[in-house]
């Protein structure tokens, strides 16, 4: 289920599985259509989704985005005995409500910034006095990755709170979490869990801001690479012990066992890793680099996770570095230009199904076909993805391929991976 670059990467990997007989995608996109039969289903109509699965004898449903998970689609599928990869509505609160997650962290003693939950502009404004600048303000609910404001001054924090309680994020902003600013480098850690067993599932670093050098407004992510060497094996062990394990155990103990992928956004502070936020799905575009490195049968792994048999499953990641560059439509993250023509052409830099021989793979995000022409149909449009023996090499291959893409109304950051490239020297 889904239609972005994340789902294209998942479909591409699922399609490589020896245990796959047939793959459907709803709604999919032109890239996904190369891997799967695309069908139209209304994700909010759970009866229609389960009906389709029953009539097509579907053995596993992989739910890509957070909205249908927070809406309880996995529960509806499970109630119809259809295995689903993704958490229940109750467990998806880990992404669906920032306040829920902060309270859980407090109960389970998980390292995260100090916080206050507020439900009115008055209480929020007076709570600011308990924090120091920069102020971190978060709409409680889902806000398409845009619900976080970091305000450098008290005046800006007050103005942002007034916008949030004024309906800027709709119902998602009816409650606002104010939290302490954490200092350090950000990294993402992924784990699969069936509610009890935990399978580490890779690390990555994203580039949230639209501009080179990490400036400008936040986006859904302009590029990523994996692994994230800043998350050393020692730090990963701490993340599992201090953050992931207590979360999985608390969720199970409280009657909301978490099943699916748990994506921890972390701040690597001087005192150790702290949780910034959880997501209840793969990152986009982090998924594209994880799938590039994953070895093993994704259908088997996800099915084991869905069935509560993750302890018996195996996954490994190749040692190569993978890097993806997001090509977005001009205007993103504001109002993106729609309909711009894309020509992928015949360049050798792009002729790679397997991403070998110095060539890249293009995952489709917001694309469509109009009158036989591939066109932009969203903010983030293409994810040009490459691997290499280092981030530097993967970056070079990815940008060679970017240069071979003819997408006049598109743009990308030219510095994806810069922190790691600098460290690699
Ligand atoms: P989110 O949309 O929740 O991923 O948050 C957007 C970005 O805000 C994160 O990627 C961080 O860069 C930043 N952020 C969120 N919470 C904090 C925090 N407590 N301290 C510092 N930065 C934060
Ligand atoms: N790329 C960030 C996210 O998927 O949340």
The per-residue pLDDT for range 214-229, each reduced to its tens digit, is 999 889 999 999 999 9
**Confidence (pLDDT) at 146:** 77
Distance CA(16)–CA(20), nearest Å, equals 8
Q: State yes or no: cis peptide before 415, omega within 30 of 0.
A: no
Between helix 5-15 and helix 286-293 the angle, nearest 10°, is 20
Backbone φ and ψ of 295, nearest 5°? -110, 140
Closest atom of ligand 1 relative to the 138 alpha carbon? 3
The helix/strand/coil state of 214 is coil
Report which protein residue has its CA nearest ligand 1's atom 5: 148
Q: Which atom of ligand 1 is nearest to the CA of 206?
A: 10
Q: How far, in Å, from the CA of 290 to the mean position of ligand 2?
A: 13
Asked if residue 2 has its Cβ within 6 Å of ligand 1, the reply is no
User: Which of the residue ranges 114-128, 190-204, 251-265 would you say has the lowest mean pLDDT?
Assistant: 114-128
Evaluate whether 413 touches 421 at the Cβ level (below 8 Å): no
Tokens of 289: 């680099």
Express as a percent the part of the chain with pLDDT over 70.
98
| Top mutation candidate among 92, 96, 190, 221 for ligand 2, by most atoms within 8 Å of CB | 221
User: How far apart are the CA of 276 and the centre of ligand 1, in A?
Assistant: 6
Q: How far is the CA of 117 from the centre of ligand 2 (A)?
A: 23
pLDDT over 90 for what percent of the chain?
A: 89
Give the closest residue to 189 by CA, choosing from 235, 153, 132: 235
Give the pLDDT band of residue 348 (cuts 50, 70, 90): low
pLDDT in tens, 272-301: 999 999 999 999 999 999 999 999 999 999
Closest residue by Cα to residue 330 from 379, 403, 259, 367: 379
If you take atom 10 of ligand 1, which residue's CA is the nearest one?
208
pLDDT, the chain, mean: 94
Closest among 104, 143, 91 to 262, alpha carbons compared: 91
Quick check: CB of 83 below 6 Å from ligand 2?
Answer: no
Pocket mutation for ligand 2, best pick of 220, 262, 278, 281 (most atoms within 8 Å of C-beta): 220
Q: How many Å apart are CA 358 and CA 383, to the nearest integer?
A: 16
Find the 275 Cα to ligand 1 centroid distance in Å: 10
Distance (angstroms) between ligand 2 centre and the Cα of 294 equals: 19
> Which protein residue has the closest C-alpha to ligand 2 atom 4?
283
pLDDT in tens, 20-52: 999 999 999 999 999 999 999 999 999 999 999
Q: How far is the C-alpha of 119 from the C-alpha of 244, rounded, in Å?
A: 28
Quote the pLDDT of residue 142: 87
Task: With 0.85 as the threshold, say if the pTM is over it.
Answer: yes
Residue bearing the CA closest to ligand 2, atom 3: 283
352 token code pair: 């790679």
238 lines ligand 1 (CB under 6 A): no
d(CA 2, CA 77): 16
The mean per-residue pLDDT over the stretch 399-424 comes to 96
Top mutation candidate among 189, 265, 266 for ligand 1, by most atoms within 8 Å of CB: 265
Cβ of 146 below 6 Å from ligand 1: no
From CA 157, how far away is CA 23, in angstroms rounded? 47
272 lines ligand 1 (CB under 6 A): no
Q: Whose CA is nearest to atom 7 of ligand 1?
A: 148
Q: Which of 15-19, 140-144, 260-264, 318-322 shows the lowest per-residue confidence on average (mean pLDDT)? A: 140-144
Please, where are the H alpha helices in 56-151?
A: 66-70, 73-79, 93-96, 98-108, 121-127
Does 285 sit behind a cis peptide bond, omega within 30 degrees of 0 on the bond before it?
yes
Q: Using CA atoms, how far apart are residues 214 and 207, in angstroms rounded to an integer? A: 7
66 lines ligand 2 (CB under 6 A): no
């Amino acid at each position: 289920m889904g239609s972005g670059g994340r789902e294209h990467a998942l479909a591409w990997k699922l399609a490589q599985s020896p245990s796959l007989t047939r793959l459907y995608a709803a709604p999919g996109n032109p890239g996904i259509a190369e891997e799967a039969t695309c069908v139209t289903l209304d994700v909010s109509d759970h009866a229609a989704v389960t009906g389709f699965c029953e009539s097509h004898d579907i053995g596993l449903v992989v739910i890509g985005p957070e909205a249908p998970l927070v809406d309880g689609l996995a529960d509806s599928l499970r109630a119809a005995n259809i295995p689903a990869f993704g958490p229940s509505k109750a467990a998806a609160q880990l992404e669906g409500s920032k306040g829920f997650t902060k309270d859980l962290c407090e109960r389970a003693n998980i390292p995260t910034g100090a916080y206050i939950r507020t439900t009115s502009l008055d209480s929020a404004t007076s709570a600011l006095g308990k924090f120091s600048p920069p102020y971190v303000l978060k709409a409680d609910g889902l806000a398409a990755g845009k619900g976080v404001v970091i305000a450098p001054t008290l005046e800006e924090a007050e103005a942002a709170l007034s916008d949030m309680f004024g309906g800027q994020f709709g119902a998602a902003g009816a409650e606002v979490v104010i939290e302490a600013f954490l200092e350090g480098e950000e990294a993402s850690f992924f784990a699969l869990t069936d509610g009890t067993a935990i399978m580490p599932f890779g690390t990555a670093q994203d580039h949230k801001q639209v501009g080179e050098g990490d400036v400008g407004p936040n986006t859904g992510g302009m590029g990523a690479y994996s692994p994230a060497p800043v998350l050393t094996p020692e730090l990963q062990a701490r993340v599992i012990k201090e953050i992931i394990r207590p979360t999985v155990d608390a969720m199970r103990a409280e009657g909301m066992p978490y099943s699916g992928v748990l994506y921890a956004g972390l701040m690597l502070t001087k005192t150790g890793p702290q949780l910034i936020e959880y997501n209840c799905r793969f990152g986009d575009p982090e998924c594209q680099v994880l799938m590039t490195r994953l070895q093993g049968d994704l259908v088997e792994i996800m099915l084991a996770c869905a069935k509560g048999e993750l302890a018996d499953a195996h996954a490994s990641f190749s040692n190569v570095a993978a890097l993806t560059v997001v090509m977005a439509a001009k205007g993103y993250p504001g109002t993106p230009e729609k309909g711009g023509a894309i020509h992928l052409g015949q360049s050798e830099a792009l002729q790679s199904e397997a991403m070998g021989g110095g060539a890249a793979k293009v995952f489709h995000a917001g694309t469509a076909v109009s009158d036989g022409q591939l066109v932009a149909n969203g903010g983030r449009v293409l994810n040009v993805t490459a691997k290499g023996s280092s981030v530097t090499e993967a970056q070079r291959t990815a940008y060679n391929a970017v240069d071979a893409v003819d997408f006049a109304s598109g743009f990308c950051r030219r510095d994806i991976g810069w922190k790691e490239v600098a460290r690699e020297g």
